[in-house]
Chains A and B, each alone.
Chain A
């Protein structure tokens, strides 16, 4: 009898664990690589007495260099002190950007539009800094970056097995990548992005989901480097992530349209 009770308890514990995991389903965070080049005039036109010349200076953009810019900015470091759990003023080395689809409609501000997808700087040790938010110490909103998808023009194609719920989907949309270190460096670039989804069979209300994003943003707008007018070229954000997602979101582009019409 004791063993039977033990078995029942073990089964109950396993079921509780499974239920708890189900309750935590959300879009997986997409670890991003960001790259591109930016051109600007770094020097005044030079005149050697015969010819006057001016040249463009090109610099590259990577995740590391963007994080270095954030760490060098007095504005950002002040925000970091206010909003990070451990009150640190530098983003730790080895940190990276993740794209969080779960934050849609969180930052409902007319400056950002209704839907803003958060960029989070994080690392494997639990550090986390969302680049758009509210600084309660300084009593002000801050906006150092986001990666937004155009909810009005999100279109897609998909194929889904009626019996299992498994399938795949390929979406297209307009995107905006915005970065501003509050210290003279800004990227505000636009392009057409793709989201590729692979959905496993539905089990317990969730399905294993892989999301690949490819967001090229070749069209620069109001870019600056050290306060100088600049034009970014070939900026691209991409990444891939896998996780358990609630089964109701497939196909994503129609689910998103529903959100757009009826609210979250």
Chain B
């Protein structure tokens, strides 16, 4: 009887541990609350996402961007591995938001331009470019004005310039070629044929 009881106890303990690990993984991947948005369509929420443990380092001082609420700093409680995992999770989210076209995704991206983690800020700058909205330009310039790191300042301003250009997919129709271009192409083709008769 006793071994049976011990075995059952061990099995139950194993199942509980497995369930706890699974739930933990699930919670890490899916934060309970979205990150605090700023800029376009900013919400008035002050809640902090479960994994967004890196609060804003500076405020985006623009009329269109309401001030970001300070969040509790949780980085000290994390191991370096956990901290890196949280950074990776946030950069993954930024990449996902950058593929969307909605104002909430843009707000989330712009909020991370002032994240306390440099790696996240860099990912946010790239995500802003990938999102491809000129609405981000004022925020990029405002954050650049408040940034002390010259490299980051340049990256922010370059991102603003990047967004001021049209996308390659919006570049219009093909131009008819000039007589000079047509003549040059004909000569080039004739040269190729003379070198490579087939």
Asked if B167 and A64 sit within 8 Å, CB to CB, the answer is yes
| Complexed CA–CA distance, A226 and B169 (Å) | 9
Of A35, A42, A63, A238, which one neighbours B171 at CB under 8 angstroms?
A42
Q: State which residues 26-79 of A face B: CB under 8 Å.
A: 31, 33, 35, 37-38, 41-44, 57-66, 68-69, 72
The answer to whether the Cβ of A205 comes within 8 Å of any Cβ in the partner chain is no
Asked if B165 and A60 sit within 8 Å, CB to CB, the answer is yes
Asked if A60 and B95 sit within 8 Å, CB to CB, the answer is no
Q: Is the interface of A mostly helix, strand, loop or mixed?
A: mixed
Asked if A225 and B168 sit within 8 Å, CB to CB, the answer is yes
The answer to whether the Cβ of A90 comes within 8 Å of any Cβ in the partner chain is no
Given A10-B11, A37-B162, A44-B175; A65-B99 close (CB under 8 Å) = no
Interface size class of A (residues with CB under 8 A): 35 or more
Name the residue of chain B whose CB is nearest to the CB of A183.
Answer: B174
| Min C-beta distance of B17 to chain A, whole Å | 12
Q: State which residues 1-43 of B face A: CB under 8 Å.
A: 3-4, 7-8, 10-11, 14
Residue of B3, B91, B165 contacting most chain A CB atoms (<10 Å): B165
The answer to whether the Cβ of B130 comes within 8 Å of any Cβ in the partner chain is yes
Asked if B129 and A62 sit within 8 Å, CB to CB, the answer is yes
Name the residue of chain A whose CB is nearest to the CB of B171.
Answer: A59
The answer to whether the Cβ of A22 comes within 8 Å of any Cβ in the partner chain is no
**Chain A neighbourhood of B11, CB < 8 A:** 3, 6-7, 10
Asked if A226 and B173 sit within 8 Å, CB to CB, the answer is yes
How many positions in chain B have a CB within 8 Å of any CB in the partner chain?
A: 35
Asked if A226 and B99 sit within 8 Å, CB to CB, the answer is no
Asked if A228 and B175 sit within 8 Å, CB to CB, the answer is yes
The answer to whether the Cβ of B55 comes within 8 Å of any Cβ in the partner chain is no
**Chain A neighbourhood of B169, CB < 8 A:** 64-66, 68-69, 72
**Chain B neighbourhood of A4, CB < 8 A:** 3-4, 7
Of B8, B91, B99, B129, which one neighbours A94 at CB under 8 angstroms?
B99
| Min C-beta distance of B90 to chain A, whole Å | 12
What total count of A-B pairs have CB within 8 Å? 100
| Complexed CA–CA distance, A43 and B173 (Å) | 11
Asked if A64 and B7 sit within 8 Å, CB to CB, the answer is no
Asked if A93 and B168 sit within 8 Å, CB to CB, the answer is no
**Chain B neighbourhood of A115, CB < 8 A:** none
Name the residue of chain A whose CB is nearest to the CB of B173.
Answer: A226
Residue of B88, B170, B171, B173 contacting most chain A CB atoms (<10 Å): B171
| Min C-beta distance of A22 to chain B, whole Å | 19
The answer to whether the Cβ of A185 comes within 8 Å of any Cβ in the partner chain is yes
Of A35, A44, A69, which one neighbours B178 at CB under 8 angstroms?
A44
**Chain B neighbourhood of A72, CB < 8 A:** 169
17 A-B interface contacts by CB (under 8 A): A3-B4, A4-B3, A4-B7, A6-B11, A7-B7, A33-B98, A33-B130, A37-B162, A59-B167, A60-B132, A60-B168, A63-B130, A64-B167, A65-B132, A96-B95, A184-B174, A240-B91
Report which A residues bind B (CB closer than 8 A): 3-4, 6-7, 10, 31, 33, 35, 37-38, 41-44, 57-66, 68-69, 72, 93-96, 124, 184-185, 225-228, 238, 240, 242
Report which B residues bind A (CB closer than 8 A): 3-4, 7-8, 10-11, 14, 88, 91-92, 95-96, 98-101, 126-127, 129-130, 132, 162-163, 165-175, 178
